[in-house]
Amino acid sequence: MTKHIIIAGSGFAGTWSALSAARAVALAGKEDAIEITVISPEPSLHIRPRFYEAVIENMDPDVGKLFAAVGVKHVAGIVQNIHSDWRQVEVLLPNGARQKLAYDKFVLAAGSKLFQPPVPGLREHAFNVDQLTNAKALDRHLKALPARPETPARNTIVVAGGGFTGIETVAEMPQRLREIFGTQAELRVIVVEQAPEIGPDLGPGPRPFIEEALAEQGVEIITGTGVAAITADSVTLGNGEVIPTNTVIWTAGARANALAAQIPGTHDRFGRVEADAFLHAKAAKDIFVTGDVALAATDTLGNNAAMSCQHALSLGRVAGHNAAAELVGLALHPYAQPKYVTCLDLGPWGAIFSEGWDRQVKFTRDEGKAIKREINTKWIYPPMADRDAVFAIANPDYVIVP
């Protein structure tokens, strides 16, 4: 009887889970006995790390042909319920119908969503760069601003959150606005971070470079106070300051997809499901968690995978391999990713490339930017639809960052 692996999500983790599972099934010569199905709204991989960029092009490459080349089926839909007790998922199809699908192994790779706390006006008035539709909505809004009457609110952009995404977004903004408004416009670009310093999670190493880059772009940095309220034409800070603006871009962190809450077991403060060394959900037999929904140890020193595509690309390969390996009798592969790097885009200044969890800066400015360009245009894109070439890099011990 055919056994079923179902994967929810076709992002970095879901796509590589599917490719790695297909490789394991082929290695065991069990293609006729195992069916691998990816469920996601569409057969494309959204390149979320680029959504802060000024030009929103080629950000959702098709993976349908890639899946077909390795014998993976794609079902367009959204997984709504996971019944771990009787190994079934319920899927909402694009025509509004609901379908129940049974699985032998289920891989949750549904990613994360922007964290939106109950700040008054946030959901109604703020923009963000979390999903492709959001990045496109921001782009349309920015391009429509010059048609409005000139006011301080029109000419001021406020980025809420001075973490990784906030910094990349704000560093790109002055140049992006000059292209939209022209070089003569009087513009203000502000980043607001509630911690005492910009880039609180990035540590002291990168900070002087971040401050230099933002100062060079004319970005104002406000720290030590958060965003308290947002309207269509202003933002109020926690310290009472009111800044006139038509554009607040919210970037304050991510939470695991709500589906993760349906999986029994321990969840961390980001909603991620605790995984064992093989990426099984610890409390749910036959379910694997991967990418942004997985709380997984990267090493034996106490570090956990970040919500990052660097980790999702490896977590995906391991989860997919292990889901298939359990069905076809191959050895399971433990997840480990001891090397960690960060590449932070700082707009026209360049980028910072750092190594280690303490982020030791190795390259800055143009050298850093060249690496960022390589990552953002090559490394994270899905491969060509060539079965042998894909299987050569879909192994669970593939090293993402050499």
Ligand X SMILES: Cc1cc2nc3c(=O)[nH]c(=O)nc-3n(C[C@H](O)[C@H](O)[C@H](O)COP(=O)(O)OP(=O)(O)OC[C@H]3O[C@@H](n4cnc5c(N)ncnc54)[C@H](O)[C@@H]3O)c2cc1C
Instruction: Give contact residues for ligand X (rule: CB under 6 A).
Output: 8-14, 39-41, 48-49, 51-52, 78-79, 109-112, 129-130, 165, 257, 259, 291-292, 307-310, 312
46 alpha-carbon distance from chain centroid:
9
Query: Residue 356 contacts by C-beta under 8 Å, 6 or more apart in sequence?
Result: 340, 341
Q: How far apart are CA 202 and CA 108, in angstroms?
A: 28
Measured from the CB atom, the residue of 308 and 395 that comes closer to ligand X is 308
Task: Write down the least CB distance from residue 391 to ligand X, Å.
Answer: 20
Measured from the CB atom, the residue of 110 and 328 that comes closer to ligand X is 110
Q: What is the tally of helices (H) and strands (E) in the chain?
A: 9, 22
Six token digits for residue 255: 């939470």
Measured from the CB atom, the residue of 234 and 314 that comes closer to ligand X is 314
Measured from the CB atom, the residue of 51 and 278 that comes closer to ligand X is 51
Task: Write down the least CB distance from residue 359 to ligand X, Å.
Answer: 13
Closest-approach residue to ligand X (CB): 11
Measured from the CB atom, the residue of 155 and 314 that comes closer to ligand X is 314
Task: Write down the least CB distance from residue 167 to ligand X, Å.
Answer: 10
Task: Write down the least CB distance from residue 276 to ligand X, Å.
Answer: 18
Which H helix or E strand runs over 332? none
Residue listed under structure tokens 């699985």: 103
Task: Write down the least CB distance from residue 41 to ligand X, Å.
Answer: 5
Q: How far apart are CA 401 and CA 42, in angstroms?
A: 29
Total Cβ atoms within 10 A of residue 94:
10
Measured from the CB atom, the residue of 39 and 295 that comes closer to ligand X is 39
Task: Write down the least CB distance from residue 154 to ligand X, Å.
Answer: 24
Q: How far apart are CA 325 and CA 370, in angstroms?
A: 38
Between the CA of residue 226 and those of 51, 192, 193, 229, 253, what are the distances in Å? Answer: 23, 7, 6, 9, 13
